Every structure is written in structure tokens, then in C-alpha cells.
Amino acid sequence: MKSNSEELFQRSLKVTPGGVHSPVRAFKSVESTPIFFKQAQGAFLTSVEGKEYVDFCQSFGPLILGHRDPDVSRIVKETADMAWSFGTCEPYSLELAEWITNKIKWVEKVRFVCSGTEAVMTALRIARAATNRSKILKFEGCYHGHFDSLLVKAGSGLAGDSASDSAGVTNVSDTLTIPLDDEEKLENVFKTHGDQIAAVIIEPLPANYGLLVQRKEFIQKLEKLTRSHGALLIFDEVISGFRVALGGMAEILKIEPDLVTYGKVIGGGFPVGAYGGKAKLLDLIAPQGPVYQAGTLSANPFGMRAGLATLMKMENENIIPTLQKKTESFSKSINELFEKYSHDLQISSFASLFWIHSRTNKPVRSIDQIPKDHKKKFNQFFHNVLVQGIYLAPSAYEVGFMSWAHSDEVLYRTLEKIETALRGGGR
């Protein structure tokens, strides 16, 4: 007898905290139990029960080409026949590093790690060493991984819970936190702590506590204050890097950060992170400099080769602008359905990211602007479309991702399923 999702989850609870290996997977935010999946291809997931779902989570962003893209799959199979891990110097990370530094002029050097958290942790270490200062400024709702000093009002899997930080975290006295899109508080924090701030870190496209698209003027103000006070500017582009543009939000905003962190897309679906930036800062890293960072599985050949194959295909087939148009059209059609059925939700998008949230009359740019009833309304919609075979990230505060595998036919069928859900799902 085959196990179903409920049985598997009950078994998982006995051997794994909360039954999951990353909190949002537990479906706790949507007040349910998770579906277990056994297979994925293109735009689809297949559950252990054999039901197929259109997947708009796409592993929370890395799979910009969809699950098991055939061109990337070929590279992965080749790699499996060559090596699984080296722990030595090899040419594959060099090729990816050369591609990135050739395409992005402000990334003069780059080092690969295994996660975005590692990348952020090291970027902050570099900033403190370079400036001989201790304080870091971050923004409420921006998530920079589960590194202790930044797990403060961080969003993501903690969004909507009773507290936006974590038990067991103590070394946060050097972390300054202010709201997004608040120029007055931004100016005040620099007036008070400007000569102590080593770096400001921000998601230039905050996408971990909803999709909080910032005004360009706010980011420009941030850059100006950072420069004038001798602090470093760090862009966390783990989500937006190579997805909104090849040069990420830095390219769109025409702002060159001192340091940038990447992940997700650059690994082609395999575990990867990276930090990069000005050569004088990266040269502070061991073995060349005094800042230590190391990793047994850093620059794993699967992530390096799959990542390069993904990036090259994206550029050669001009995928980013195509996905943006597709996402805009899809979002427009869903908003029309929400209007048609008098549903109190709307969808906002930026590039190939989208966010379904409670209806508002103005852009949502900070977490305090998210309607109080948002979670309840999203949860009902989530379950209504899940029954129809549409898989969204199981949290009202997570964004959705469009992939190259979401063909026009797939999206047309998805809209039909959403209309069916809205027709019978109520408000």
C-alpha cells in the first residue's frame, strides 16, 4: 500500500522538527498539512498520490527555466558521470565566475558558497573588516537568511507569526532596524549612528514579506547617505539577481553596490550562494586577506555547471523580458477575474515575480501597509486553487514565480482553474 501525504507527514513529525526541513513547507501558515511530492517536470509537480499541480513556487525561485529543463538536465547528467564533488581547484567554478564578472561590471570578483545565508554572513564580515565598524543597518521585512544578527523583523517563514525574530538569537545589539520607505527614519538613523555603521544591507526588491516594490528615490536616498557616511552598501539579490535583469535590481536602479549576494537562479536548481563586489573588498577574504570563510562543498560542480547552463540559456533566448511580459499578462487576467467575481484580492507583479494579496488602493511598500485581513483571505484562496491543481507557496507572505516552462497553454488552463475556484470559492 502506497503512503499518502498525511501518513508521510505524521512519520516526519517523529523524526524531524515540525516534520519539515524548512519552516514554510509545513503548511502551518495556511493552517493545513503539507502535500508530499515525488516528481517534478517543467511547470508541474506530481504528488505522492499521483495528482498533478501547476507549480508557481518553483522551489522558491531558483527554477527560472522550470523543473528539469532539458538543456540543463543534459549538463547535470554529464556532470554526474565526471564528478560529484572535488574539494580541490576545478575549472567549472572558474567558468561561472568569469561569466558573472564579464557580464556585471561592478562584480569584479566573486566567491561561491552553498547558501544565501553564508553569502550574507561573509559580506557583513567583509564590511566590518573594511570599515573597522560594528553596526549593520537593515530594514523591517527584508530577509537575509537565518544568520543570527540579521534574523530580526526578517519576514519570510516568520511573517505573520507572533514575533518576527527567533528564539536563541542574542547577538543583535549591533543590528539597527528601520521600516522600508521611510526617509525620515533613514535620515535619523544615520544622524545618530552614521559613524558606527559598517554597512547597510537591503533587498533592493523586497520579496520575502510580500512583494514590497520600493520607490527608486528611496533606494537613491539610501545610497547617498551610505556613501556620505563611509558605510558600505550591500544589495541582497539572492531572489532578484539574474531574474529581474541579468544585472539584477542594481542594473535596473543604475546603482552599483559595494557588495552583492546571490543565490537561487545562479545554481540552476542546485544549492548555491555567492558574494561578490569590488576587488579591493573581496581581496580581504582568506587566503589573500584576514577575513576567514571556507566551505567543504562550496563551488560544487553540479551547481556551477547547471548554473552556467541556466544563465547562458537565459541570455541566448532573451528569457527575462519574455517572462516579464508573460507575468504582466497573467497578472492582468487574474485581476480581471478577481473583479469579475467581486473578490477582495489582487495580484501585483514585478518582472517574473508576483504576489497575491488583499485589495488596496495604493502600492504596498512596507509591512505595516499590508492589510490586516490579508492572511485569512489568501488562505481561503490558496486552498480553493489547490483543490483545482494549482500550487502556490503555502504562505500569504511568499511571492510566486513564473518560469520559462509556464507555456501559454499552461497559463490558459491555469486561468480556467482559477475561475472555477473563484466561481465556487466565495470571498
Q: Residue 112: beta bridge partners?
A: 274
**Cα→Cα distances 125→55, 120, 293, 408, Å:** 37, 9, 9, 45
Q: Are 67 and 405 in contact (CB under 8 A)?
A: yes
How buried is 271 (Cβ within 10 angstroms: 0-12 exposed, 13-18 middle, 19+ buried)? Answer: middle
CB 32 within 8 A of CB 383: yes
Which of 64, 263, 316 has the alpha carbon at shortest distance from 145? Answer: 263
Provide the sign of the torsion angle of the four alpha carbons 145, 150, 155, 160, taken in this order: positive
Triad 358, 364, 370: Cα angle to 5°: 50
Catalytic positions, please?
143, 236, 264
Query: Which burial class, exposed, middle or buried, applies to 131 when counting CB atoms under 10 A from its CB (0-12, 13-18, 19+)?
Result: middle
Residue 112 C-alpha cell reads as: 561561491
Phi and psi at 426, nearest 5°, equal 70, -160
DSSP string, 239-271: TTBTTTBTTHHHHHHT---SEEEEEGGGGTTSS
CA–CA distance, 417 with 272 (Å, rounded to integer): 34
Instruction: Centre a 10 Å sphere on the Cβ of residue 230 and count the other Cβ atoms it contains.
Output: 12
d(CA 411, CA 266): 25
